[in-house]
């Protein structure tokens, strides 16, 4: 994975998790910008996980997001 690594957090400060406590660590080229919408997909043992979110705030390596959705296909 290339780019910078960012931890995703909800606006209340809790980590973004995808079922069974899988925390999201996101690799992006460059620094995310406020209000950007991202769709990020990665392979898992059971298929492809797609995560969609909007950037709501930035603090160092933490990206605060809202409107987080994920699906496995």
pLDDT tens per residue, range 6-45 = 677 888 888 777 655 555 555 556 667 788 787 877 777 8
Q: Which residues are within 8 A (CB) of 66 and not within 5 positions of it... i.e. 6 or more apart?
A: 10, 11, 53, 54, 56
User: For residue 61, what pLDDT band results from cuts at 50, 70 and 90?
Assistant: confident
- Alpha-carbon distance of 22 to 36, in angstroms, equals 23
Q: Is the pLDDT of residue 47 over 80?
A: yes
The range of the structural domain enclosing residue 16 comes to 4-72
Reading the block at residue 19, the tokens are 């079922």
Does the pTM exceed 0.75?
A: no
Q: Which residues are within 8 A (CB) of 67 and not within 5 positions of it... i.e. 6 or more apart?
A: 52, 53, 54
- Alpha-carbon distance of 44 to 32, in angstroms, equals 24
Q: Is the pLDDT of residue 46 over 80?
A: yes
**Total number of domains in the chain:** 1
């Amino acid at each position: 994975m290339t780019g910078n690594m960012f931890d995703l957090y909800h606006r209340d400060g809790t980590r973004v998790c995808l079922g069974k406590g899988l925390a999201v660590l996101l690799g992006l080229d460059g620094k995310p910008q406020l209000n950007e919408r991202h769709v990020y997909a990665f392979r898992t043992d059971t298929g492809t996980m797609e995560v969609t979110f909007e950037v709501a705030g930035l603090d160092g390596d933490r990206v605060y997001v809202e409107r987080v959705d994920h699906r496995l296909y």
